[in-house]
Each structure stands twice: as C-alpha cells, then as structure tokens.
Amino acid sequence: KEVDAKSNRSFQYFPNMYESVGYEAYQEGAIFPGNMEAQKPVDGTVSRGWMPYEYEDDNDGYASAKANLINPVPLTEDHLSNGQALYGIYCAICHGAKGNGVGYLVETEKILGVPSYDAREITEGSIYHVMYHGINYMGSYASQTSIEERWEIVHFVEALRADLMGVPR
Amino acid sequence: MIKKKLHLSTLQLFLASLFLVFSMMGAQAQEDATTSDAESATPVEATPSESDTSGGNATQGEALFKANCASCHKLYKKAVGPALFEVTKRHDREWLYEWIKNSAALIATGDAEALAIYNEYNQSNMNAFPGLSNQDIDNILAYTDTPKPVATTAAPVDGEAAAGGGGTSSMTNNIVLGALALVLIVLIVVLFAVNTTLKRFATANGIQTEFEEEDRTERTPIWKAFVQNQFLVLVTAIFLLLASAYFVYGALMSVGVDQGYAPVQPIHYSHRIHAGVSQIDCKYCHSSARESKHSGIPSLNVCMNCHKSIAEVADGTYQEGIEEYGIDYNKEIQKLYSATGWSEDEQAFVGEEQPVRWVRIHNLPDLAYFNHAQHVTAGNIACQTCHGPVEEMEVMYQYSPLTMGWCINCHRETNVDLAGNGYYEEIHKELSEKRGGRQLTVADLGGIECGKCHY
C-alpha cells in the first residue's frame, strides 16, 4: 500500500468535539510554566503504589545498595519470563541477548565498552541500583520501567549471569 | 555434399575488422583497470604503530580497550574519564599499572597524582581491573598511542584512482559510441543503395511504383457526427455524471482524513536509523505503549541514554544523510544537546533545558477513546499493523487513515488473543460450546458498540 506524504492536515467539516476542552497529556498550554502540560510533582510526595528509592546516586549509595538491597519480587516462572521480555526490549540492544556485552549496537560499534555480566562482581542490589540511577555512560531506566519490572529484569540478569559463569540457576 | 566457396564479402570484412578493433580496446581497458587497482592498493591505510618502547601490541590492545575501557574513555575526547591519547607521556608506566589494576586502592594510599585525577573527574571511581596482566595493559597503552587517523591521507589516492579510472572508461565509451554511429551511417547508406536498386529493377520490369491521389468526397467533421448520434450523446452524458459523482464522493470521503501527514519536525529524527538500521525495539523509546493509554513521545533522557556516548553518526550514515536526504545528522544530534543542556566538552548537563516541540502526527478527535496498552499488551498487535513500516520511514508519516471504518473493520476481522489470559477463560469456554469452536472476534465481545470508544 502506497501512502502519499503531505505536509498539511486535511480539511475538517464542523469540528465540534475534535479539539479537547480538558488538558491532554503532553500538550502545550500557555498557563503552565514552560508551556508544558506535564508538570513535575512536588518533591518529596509519594503516590499510591510507589515508594521512593532510598539509595543515593554516588559511590556510597552504590556500595550500600550492592550490600543491602534485597529483591522483593519472588522468583517465579511468570516474573522471570516478564523479565526476559523486558530485558529484550531495554537491555539486550547493548548487553546482548545472552548478557555477554555484545548487543547489536556493540556489534556495529555504535556503543563500546559494554562489560559481560560475568566480568564484574554484581549483586541483585547493584543491578537494581544501576538500572535506577545509571552508571557512567549508561543512563537511568527508571522512566521506562516500573519498580516491579526492574526487579523482574534483575531476576533475568542474574539467570543470565549464572549461565555465563556456568553455575546452575 | 555441396561445398560452398569461401569468399569474403566487403560486409564480412568490415565486421571482422570492427570486431578486431573492439577486442583490442577491451584488452586495453582491462589493462587500465588493473594498473589503477594496483596503484590504489599500494598505499595502505595507516596501521597502528606496532613498535612501541614497551613492545605492546596495539591491535590486541584495541580489542581490550573496546571491551573494557570504552564505556568511560575515548582516545581523543574527554568522556566520563579523561582522553587517553598519549597517556603514557603524562604518567609513569608503573603508576599506570597500579592505577588501572586498582585505582581506589591507589587513591586510598594518598598518592597525590591519583587524588588530583579523582577530584578532577567528580570523584567517580574507575572500575578495578585486577584481571588485566601487565602485558595486557602494555597492549592497551600501545593502542592509546595510536595517532588520530587523518581521513585525508587515504582519500586522495582513492580519488585519483577513481578519477583516472573514470577518465579511461569515459574515453572507451566515446570510442564505442563513435563506432556505433559509424555503423549506423553505413547501414543508412546501404539502405539507400538497396532502395534505388529495387526501384530501378521495378521500372525495368514495368511495375507501377507511384500512385496518384484520388478525389475524395467531402466528410462531415467528427463533432457534428457525434452530436447527430443521440445514443452516443446519452451514453457520454451518463458516463460524465457517474465520473463526477465518483470524484465528488471521493473528495468528500477524504475530508478529515490525514493519511500520509508528514509535517516537518523541529529535529530531523530518523526512525529508519533507530528502529531499522540499529534495530532498537519500538518500546525502548515508546515505553508507555505497554502500560498507558498514550504511547508517549520519549522524553529527552531516553535520547541521552545512548547519545551521551554517540555524539556523531558513523561516516557511512553521515554521507547517506547528506546525499540522500540533505540532512547533516551530526547537526541534528547537536540540537538534542542544546535541548538538554548537555555540554560535550565538560561531559555534563550545564546549559538550560528547552523541551522539543515535536509535531503530533496521529490525531484522533477528542470524542474517541483509544488505549494503546490494551491493543499492545493485551491484544498483542504488532506496532506495524497500525503505524505501517515505521522502521523504513526516514520522516514519520501517518500510514493508516485512522477513520472509524478502519477501526471497525479490524475489530470485525481480528480474533481476540485468548491464550494465557485468565480474564477470558469463562467466556471462552461458554461461547466456544455455543458456536462450535469458531474463533472470537473483537466485535463478538462488544468491540463495535458505541460506548466502547465514544463513552
């Protein structure tokens, strides 16, 4: 099917309820600071079903998360397969489907220096911490994944690491 | 057995000589090609210097560098850590061994050199690499001494070779064309000769070759004949009415349909490169499609996840952008940096943030409710079903009409994805008994009722 590109929208006939009266997500609005409808919630507020992450984004926070943070999501078949699916979307592009640091972007040399999971000493706490805050060139994935999803990914990363090191899962 | 006498006609002679000339020219052209190849092959691109004072192997070092160091260091540019080009001239080799194996320990000893670097780079810890041997580190250091490859050294040689090759080939082309023209002229002359011979032959035999014009009766002009034929007029009128109805109806049906809408965006973002060439999953950037009604445009932090380290596109991609699309991709990445306030020199967010005003392409009227999550996550519909081959789109455009008929059509034809969905267990059992195992479509479950989409 061929679609002809055009740079203008088509005519509309009596667009009575086409434009939203209320504010829609992502729209512009003159009354908002910065002209953005999406405003940041007040610092320190906590919404239902969400808890703030307590470890700071620095070396101490990393060390402390690595030592103390425990995965609250139980290791079940469902969580693991969810983790695998999410890993495929967000992580495999650089870290590789097997976690050996050779994702497609590394293969094509767009991004370099991605370590294999068995090359470093990592714990479930440190995996989560890095996903939340990012580390060096890796950015934070907190905006794309929920708390539970990140812990599911942690389960799958640990499984990959066990495979790489030849340890039974 | 009849033996034919072998004699060469002038034509045969001509063809033979022509063949000879062509084959000689071909041989010469081939010779040209080989010589120009040989010329271009001799100056090879600059190889990393193998001879180093410590005897490190730069090629092995490159592999090690890319696997271990490139996540924070670049050779000629400041990154998370300092640029490493000629780091051996700035620091003592023994000190470098110690630093690379365990920088934190070196800092803990209070080494002044180590502390200075630690503080200069925001006190970010460099990973310890106890697994690297001194030889490995020598290799890496040998690689860091590789001078920046200068693109101009290799290019002119290739360019000359190409130009030379082009020159000879165009000359050969000219000769071939000239020969063909000659053949054509010869053929025309031969035709004339044959024609005159035949005419002479005909007159000699008394065959008439010239015919005189006979008187013709005056005919009525075609439009008068058309008007006089009433049946034809009627048929044409009906045809015109139908045609105009067709076009008027078509025009009316395209009111409010934005299929193919492709506005100019503030940043030339190419889905072709990201989703197609780089094979990034759709949901990597449009992550809210999994969970939310809106499949949002990714915020700029998602861009910076990768573009913190990708400030420039690959050379091939750059050329492609200039030649095929007239776009300087590197400038577009700079637009992203100025929007986020990222400073490449300082490797930090220092400038003012300025949100990007993307132009929304897919617009539904506010009176319709559409939810991405229930189509993407529950329905398992591939993104391309509705948005078309996005991974091939250099500029994003609206692929589907997004009209109500288009929605309804799909709801009538699509089977509900019942597998592994506990919500449908009961209804599936009941209905499959009733209807003899026929698959459930969305319409069967009330997917074309007004209230489902229009509240």
Q: Which comes out higher in pLDDT, residue B123 or B277? A: B277
Calculate the average pLDDT of chain B: 79
* B168 CA: distance to closest CA in chain A (Å): 37
Residue B366 forms contact with A (CB below 8 Å): yes
Least confident of A24-28, B20-24, B93-97: B20-24
CA distance B261 to B182: 54
DSSP assignments along B263-281, one per residue = PPPSS---HIIIIIIS---
CA angle, A131 as apex, A135 and A158 as ends, to 5°?
110
Topology of the domain covering B58-148: Cytochrome Bc1 Complex; Chain D, domain 2 (1.10.760)
Q: Pick from B254, B305, B318 the residue to mutate for testing the A interface (most A CBs within 10 Å).
A: B305
Hey, what are B342's tokens? 């990222």
CB A143 to CB B302 under 8 A? yes
10 Å CB burial of residue B200 (0-12, 13-18, 19+) is: exposed
CB A146 to CB B305 under 8 A? no
Q: Which comes out higher in pLDDT, residue B241 or B427? A: B241
Work out the average pLDDT over B264-269: 91
**Nearest C-alpha neighbor of B74 from the set B155, B150, B173, B143:** B143
Length of chain B: 455
Hey, what are B305's tokens? 């996840």
**Nearest C-alpha neighbor of A72 from the set A152, A156, A143, A10:** A152
Please check the confidence at residue B160 and state whether its pLDDT lies above 60.
Answer: no
CA angle, B413 as apex, B408 and B418 as ends, to 5°?
110
First to last CA, chain A: 48
CA distance B174 to B416: 66
CB B327 within 8 A of CB B310: no
Q: Pick from B118, B252, B301 the residue to mutate for testing the A interface (most A CBs within 10 Å).
A: B301
Work out the average pLDDT over A119-128: 89
**Partner-chain residue, chosen from B66, B281, B308, that has the shortest CB–CB distance to A139:** B308
CB A143 to CB B70 under 8 A? no
B393 to chain A: closest CA residue:
A5
Q: Which comes out higher in pLDDT, residue B439 or B371? A: B371
Beta bridge partners of A138: A135
**Partner-chain residue, chosen from A21, A113, A140, that has the shortest CB–CB distance to B70:** A113
**Partner-chain residue, chosen from A25, A90, A137, that has the shortest CB–CB distance to B80:** A137
CA distance B353 to B256: 36
Q: Which comes out higher in pLDDT, residue B117 or B247? A: B247
**Nearest C-alpha neighbor of B300 from the set B351, B337, B328, B268:** B337
Hey, what are B410's tokens? 């799909």
Work out the average pLDDT over A118-135: 90
Q: Three-state SS string across B198-267, please? A: HHHHHHHHCCCCCCCCCCCCCCCCHHHHHHHCHHHHHHHHHHHHHHHHHHHHHHHHCCCCCCCECCCCCC
Map out the domains of chain B as residue ranges: 2-43+157-205, 58-148, 218-253, 271-402, 403-455
CA angle, B220 as apex, B216 and B224 as ends, to 5°?
165
10 Å CB burial of residue A51 (0-12, 13-18, 19+) is: exposed
Half-sphere exposure of A40 (CA within 13 A, CB side): 5
Beta bridge partners of B82: none
pLDDT value at position B151?
Answer: 52
pTM over 0.80: no
CB B308 within 8 A of CB A137: yes
Give B177-186 pLDDT, tens digit per residue: 999 999 999 9
Please check the confidence at residue B252 and state whether its pLDDT lies above 80.
Answer: yes
Residues 6 or more apart from A41 whose CB is under 8 A from it? A47
| Chain A positions in Cβ-Cβ contact with residue B73 (cut-off 8 Å) | 113
Please check the confidence at residue B18 and state whether its pLDDT lies above 70.
Answer: no
Please report which confidence band the pLDDT of residue B267 belongs to, taking 50, 70 and 90 as the band edges.
very high
* B72 CA: distance to closest CA in chain A (Å): 6
CB A25 within 8 A of CB A39: no
Length of chain A: 169
CA distance B430 to B428: 6
CB B61 within 8 A of CB B139: yes
Work out the average pLDDT over B270-282: 91
Residue holding tokens 């969305």? B442
| Residue at B224: amino acid letter | K
**Nearest C-alpha neighbor of A75 from the set A144, A157, A166, A16:** A157
Work out the average pLDDT over B101-119: 76
Q: Pick from A112, A120, A130, A133 the residue to mutate for testing the B interface (most B CBs within 10 Å).
A: A112
* B284 CA: distance to closest CA in chain A (Å): 5
Residue B393 forms contact with A (CB below 8 Å): no
Beta bridge partners of A135: A138
- Give me the sign of the Cα torsion angle B124, B127, B133, B139: negative
**Nearest C-alpha neighbor of A20 from the set B362, B453, B366:** B366
Residue holding tokens 């759709």? B282
Could you tell me the maximum CA-CA distance found in chain B, to the nearest angstrom? 123
CB B307 within 8 A of CB B332: no
Window 14-53 of A: residues touching B by CB (8 A cutoff) are 15, 17-21, 24-26, 28, 34-36
Work out the average pLDDT over A15-38: 89
How many CB contacts within 8 angstroms connect chain A with chain B? Answer: 138
Hey, what are B426's tokens? 């009961």
pLDDT value at position B163?
Answer: 40
CA distance B86 to B76: 9
Least confident of A76-85, A150-159, B315-324, B421-430: B421-430
**Nearest C-alpha neighbor of B396 from the set B362, B443, B352:** B362
CA distance B275 to B285: 10
* Interface pTM, i.e. ipTM: 0.91
